[in-house]
Structure 1
Amino acid sequence: MEIAVKAADEKHANDIKVLNISEVSIVADYFVIMDAGSQRQVDAIVQSVLDKAGENDVEIGHVEGNRNSDWVLIDLHDVIIHVFTAEQRDFYNLEKLWSNAKEVDISNLVTEE
């Protein structure tokens, strides 16, 4: 989870949130949710996460979405990363959908804006 957060932060992802879903779902332990100002930035964030995962021998399960997508999902098995454009994040509102999950404090992992 830390690798994904730091990789996204390096590419200036907006409003990174981490939800601990381990007590409310069997699909993963964490959701990492963020948005970007453009599809190009979504691509850059996704590539950064994939690169850092590979460098740290984190197994990449599946990537859903492709270049020019408004929402890309990266499955790192215990951690699912959601990279949205701002409009799609507002539309799908995963934070509300998973409101019974606990938010994880990541202030020590991201830079101040």
Structure 2
Amino acid sequence: MQASNIVLLDVRQACDYADYTVIMTAESTRQLRALVEDVHDALKAAGVMLHHVEGSHTSGWILMDYGDVLVHLMGPEERDFYGLETVWAMSRQIRVIP
């Protein structure tokens, strides 16, 4: 909806605690907060339960753990600094939405 640079990674070969990782960029803290709500509401409506959340909209990085799927919502600076796509270099990129 409001996210940019959305990447879906298949991390099954590189990770034993998740199957997929989604990484998204939010341009502001307001947008980050809205994305957390949107993701949570959509997955809850689909019957997927949230296990754990780390971070906050003011930290620039929020991790939402849905068990087999990890969702990383990040500000642009945090995304550039941490380079999660390079951390998961062994994973297969399934989809990219600029």
Per-residue deviation at 1:37? 0.6
Aligned partner of 2:84 in structure 1 is 94
Matched, 1:29 2:29: no
Q: Percent identity?
A: 38
Aligned partner of 2:41 in structure 1 is 51
- Structure 2 SS opposite 1:105: strand
**CA-based RMSD:** 1.4
TM-score normalised by the chain length of structure 2: 0.93
* Pairing 1:74-113 to 2, within 5 Å after superposition: 74-105=64-95
Counterpart Cα distance in 1 of 2:81 and 2:13: 25
Counterpart Cα distance in 1 of 2:44 and 2:81: 31
Counterpart Cα distance in 1 of 2:26 and 2:57: 14
User: 5+ residue gaps in structure 1?
Assistant: 1-9
Counterpart Cα distance in 1 of 2:71 and 2:5: 13
Structure ranking higher in helix proportion: 1
User: 5+ residue gaps in structure 2?
Assistant: none
Structure ranking higher in strand proportion: 2
Task: Tell which has more relative contact order, 1 or 2 (C-alpha 8 A, sep 6+).
Answer: 2
Matched, 1:20 2:10: yes
Aligned residues: 98
